[in-house]
Amino acid sequence: MPILVMKFGGTSVADLDRIANAAEKVKREVERGYDVIVIVSAMAGRTNELVNWVEKTSPFYDAREYDAVVSSGENVTAGLMSLRLQEMGISARSWQGWQVPINTTSAHGAARFMSIPRENLDAKFAEGFKVAVIAGFQGLSHEGRITTLGRGGSDTTAVAFAAAFKAERCDIYTDVDGIYTTDPRISSKARKLDRIAFEEMLELASLGAKVLQTRSVELAMRYKVPLRVLSSFEETNENSGTLVCDEDQIMESKVVSGVAYSRDEAKMTLVTVEDRPGIASAIFGPLADAGVNVDMIVQNISERQAEHSVKVTDMTFSCPINQVARARKAMEDARDAGLIQFDELVADEDVAKISVVGIGMRSHAGVAAQMFKALAAENINIKVIATSEIKISVLIDRKYLELAVQALHDAFELDKA
């Protein structure tokens, strides 16, 4: 029998009625002739509740016990889903991560997949079981301890199973009906895409689009797993949702496929750093060691050059706003250790990142000019620019975020098919 993987997020299994609704969708796929692997998240809000309990019990908690507690939400959902399917006459069995087993690294709270042996599930399918309900977000370390994969890990679990079992497709059921050209809450002209390339989806996910977890898209791209994003709350058919697939499965792409944004950005500038070989390593090495997620980087000639006897530069980078204190400490520690010298560290925590993404940029010139012209027409100043083969990102004042998204969506005519 062909295998289909279906993943249901927290809002899709938030209560017993929604679990019943999800089970009906699973039943339909069984009736179409599939053996189905269902990946479930914890009920909406449950993981936050469990995390809160851990933090109140032990502020400096043991990560192994943290994983033991927070993984329990998915176990409950898996059992309830399996029971519901059985009540509907579908032969189903629930599986926790250690029962499969889902083998992972030992990085508690941020584990990565090592392997998913097929033998146990294949044996159950051979016995006549039609559905295996798997608790997402969790696995088993080589020490025999439960691990978790980090927030959004159930998406990654679903893709990993689709790859391991060579599934026909991996359907991600969520509270939206597909991938949009931008956030519909900001632009009423946002349009649902029928298809989007893996690379575009990976960029959009990493730049702030929250429909799919970044690691799940990376895994799908690596193993060529077709992903379909669709709504749990609407009637669906083979044409529903958005298919995330290889570029060659898309007849013709627009130059720009979407506009992404991130509100929670900060711009940090090291003023008058000595301009010498190795200075970038001396700055970004300590930042990496401190776990600061640096994104955009710009180096400029310092305005204070005349005050210094050696050649100096200003180094600007962006990072998540919740990592500003960590970045500041890393730079001050590096200065105290004699690795770098700088006059001051200026942090601007009132910025946002806006990005346009599209595989069509590879073969079309003028995208940057069009983007900058659209922002200039709205009198929006650009603070930092970063580019890749299929994206252009800028930092702007946060107060202009929604205006910028709407202006770029209009400029690239993303409301038109």
175 is in an annotated binding site: yes
Known binder of ligand: residue 73?
Answer: no
Q: Any binding-site annotation on 8?
A: yes
The whole-angstrom separation of Cα 330 and Cα 358 is: 35
DSSP state of 203: H
Q: Is 177 among the annotated ligand-binding positions? A: no
**Helical pair 72-87 and 46-57, crossing angle rounded to 10 deg:** 150
Total Cβ atoms within 10 A of residue 59: 7
Q: Which residues, including other chains, have CB under 8 Å from residue 279's CB and lie 6 or more apart?
A: 273, 313, 315, 340
9 has binding-site annotation = yes
Compute the distance between CA of residue 137 and CA of residue 155 in angstroms, rounded to an integer: 8
The answer to whether 143 is annotated as binding is no
Q: 180 a known binding residue?
A: yes
The label of the residue with tokens 């629930």 reads 94
Q: Is 373 annotated as a binding residue?
A: no
| Tokens 């305005």, located at residue | 303
Q: Is 194 annotated as a binding residue?
A: no
Residues 6+ apart with CB under 8 A from 168: 2, 3, 4, 34, 226
Does the annotation list 74 as a binding residue?
Answer: yes
Task: Confirm or deny that 7 is annotated as ligand binding.
Answer: yes
Instruction: Give how far Cα 199 sits from Cα of 36, 155, 203, 364, Å.
Output: 27, 17, 6, 17
Binding site for ATP, by residue number, is 7-10, 174-175, 180, 185, 210-211
Binding site for substrate, by residue number, is 47, 74
Binding site, by residue number, is 7-10, 47, 74, 174-175, 180, 185, 210-211
